[in-house]
């Protein structure tokens, strides 16, 4: 084992500097600790009215979440849901390394709209605060705000809730879903909710698509794909340095789910059913596999799907991978129905 570790160190690639990572992401750190982001993704407005050119499109609207933090929900619903049906609710957290992007970013807006129609489901996409302007745990707090908003919608009843929620939401079938940094948020939120009462709503599943985790030790996939075009190793280093609390390192539990030994068996056994998806071409895949192994070893109910090929965020670029992801989520939601005898 010692010889293998020495060999790994000897084969360590020349990782570009953090300064190069700023150039890669086209960002600048300002004296006040904020970022100037020079390559922002285009954004799209909500679409509360049907698109006459796309009969299969979903509808969407923005709902304020927390006025003090400026957060909101972008709520998606199928244009033509099944008659007299109640739909599962997915509370969705977007990706972007905790530093980039928005619920309004065109790739996530389009993905949530397609997913809402495909499942079908209501999808509450959360606009959470970004680092470094708002370092972790700010995004986690915003994630909890979104869950509490959904809980309050459930408690309000159909007459008092948002009309789309009152008409369509099945509050006994609520799932937390996130991609990349959003997958990380799902895990942290799931742990926090073990100590919260969200009744009359019931969270029955956690869906983590390519969750963004890391650690002090470099994994084999990080080294193999150190110069990845989406999340190179020096890029991941920079994102964690901007997102983690001041003074925290890669051994912090927000970054490494195995830090300090990870949560105990008693807590992990209480989590809802978990789906973790990853791709063999993602630098983060080995850490995701370690995460799954830890969950399974401690009695969590976890479904692992690691797909050959692909890369980080591939479903935002390739419709075939997107449809496969939506199919997997639909099957996972349907499996919950079967488990409950529906």
Contact 232, 226 (CB under 8 A): yes
Dihedral sign, Cα of residue 240, residue 190, residue 179, residue 287: positive
> How high is the pLDDT of residue 202?
97
Active site residue 312: yes
> How high is the pLDDT of residue 7?
47
Instruction: Write the DSSP assignment of 59-107 as a string of letters.
Output: EEEEEEEETTTTEEEEEEEESSPPTT--EEEEEEE--STTTS--TTBHH
Active site residue 282: yes
Chain segment 261-297, per-residue pLDDT in tens: 999 999 999 999 999 999 999 999 999 999 999 999 9
- Among residues 180, 237, 256, 286, which one is catalytic? 180
- Among residues 228, 237, 256, 282, which one is catalytic? 282
The helix (run of H) or strand (run of E) holding residue 232 is none
Instruction: Count CB atoms within 10 A of the CB of residue 2.
Output: 6
CA dihedral 333, 142, 97, 10 (to 10 degrees): -90
Interhelix angle 138-156/181-193, nearest 10 degrees:
60
> How high is the pLDDT of residue 9?
47
> How high is the pLDDT of residue 339?
58
Q: Which residues of the chain have pLDDT under 70?
A: 1-11, 336-342
> How high is the pLDDT of residue 337?
56
> How high is the pLDDT of residue 6?
45
């Amino acid at each position: 084992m010692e010889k293998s570790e020495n060999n790994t160190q000897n084969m360590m690639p020349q990782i570009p500097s953090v300064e190069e990572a700023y150039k890669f992401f086209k960002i600048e750190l300002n004296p006040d600790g904020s970022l100037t982001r020079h390559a922002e993704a285009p954004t799209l407005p909500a679409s509360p009215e049907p698109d006459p050119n796309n009969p299969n499109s979903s509808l969407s609207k923005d709902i304020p979440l927390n006025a003090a933090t400026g957060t909101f929900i972008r709520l998606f619903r199928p244009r033509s849901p099944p008659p007299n049906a109640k739909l599962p609710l997915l509370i969705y957290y977007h990706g972007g390394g905790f530093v980039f992007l928005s619920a309004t970013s065109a790739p996530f807006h389009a993905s949530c709209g397609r997913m809402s129609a495909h499942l079908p489901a209501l999808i509450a996409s959360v606009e959470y605060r970004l680092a470094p302007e708002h370092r972790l745990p700010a995004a986690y707090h915003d994630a909890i705000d979104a869950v509490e908003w959904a809980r309050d919608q459930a408690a309000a009843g159909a007459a008092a809730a948002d009309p789309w929620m009152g008409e369509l939401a099945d509050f006994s079938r609520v799932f937390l879903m996130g991609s990349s940094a959003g997958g990380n948020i799902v895990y942290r939120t799931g742990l926090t909710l073990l100590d919260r009462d969200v009744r009359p709503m019931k969270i029955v599943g956690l869906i983590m698509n390519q969750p963004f985790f890391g650690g002090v030790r470099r994994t084999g996939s990080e080294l193999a794909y150190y110069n990845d075009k989406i999340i190179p190793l020096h890029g991941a280093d920079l994102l964690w340095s901007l997102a983690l609390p001041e003074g925290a390192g890669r051994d912090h539990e927000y970054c490494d789910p195995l830090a300090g030994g990870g949560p105990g068996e008693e807590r992990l056994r209480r989590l809802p059913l978990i789906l973790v998806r990853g791709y063999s071409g993602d630098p983060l895949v080995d850490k995701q596999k370690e995460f799954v192994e830890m969950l399974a070893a401690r009695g969590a109910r976890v479904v692992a799907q690691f797909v050959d090929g692909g890369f980080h965020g591939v479903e935002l670029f390739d419709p075939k991978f997107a449809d496969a992801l939506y199919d997997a989520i639909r099957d996972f939601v349907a499996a919950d129905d079967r488990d409950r005898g529906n």
